[in-house]
Amino acid sequence: MKMNLEEKYQRLIAYIKELDRVAVAFSSGVDSTFLLYAAKQAVGDNAIAITAISDLIPKREQDEATKFCRDNGIKQIVYNANPFEVEGFSGNPSNRCYICKKHLFSHMKALALGQDIKYVLEGSNLDDEGDYRPGMQAIAELEILSPLRIIGFTKQEIRELSSEFGLPTANKPSFACLASRIPYEETITENKLFMVEKAEELLYNEGFKQFRVRIHGDDLARIEVLPEDFNRFMDEDYRIRIYDILKIYGFNYVSLDLKGYRTGSMNEVLK
* pLDDT at position 2: 52
Residue 263 — pLDDT band, cuts 50, 70, 90? confident
Spell out the domain ranges in the chain: 5-164, 178-269
The radius of gyration of the chain from alpha carbons, rounded to an integer in Å, stands at 19
Whether 49 and 36 have beta carbons less than 8 Å apart is answered as yes
Please determine whether the domains at 5-164 and 178-269 fall in the same fold group of CATH: no
Residue 1 has pLDDT above 60, yes or no: no
Mean pLDDT for 63-82 is 96
Identify the CATH homologous superfamily for domain 5-164. Answer: HUPs (3.40.50.620)
The pLDDT tens digits of the residues spanning 84-106 come to 999 999 999 999 999 999 999 99
Mean pLDDT for 220-248 is 97
SS (H, E, C) 68-81: HHHHCCCCEEEEEC
Fold of the domain spanning 178-269:
Alpha-Beta Plaits (3.30.70)
Helices (H), the chain: 5-19, 30-43, 59-71, 96-114, 135-141, 147-151, 155-164, 190-205, 236-249
The pLDDT tens digits of the residues spanning 119-133 come to 999 999 998 876 667
The pLDDT tens digits of the residues spanning 178-214 come to 999 999 999 999 999 999 999 999 999 999 989 999 9
Whether 246 and 221 have beta carbons less than 8 Å apart is answered as yes
What is the model's pTM?
0.91
Percent of the chain with pLDDT over 70: 94
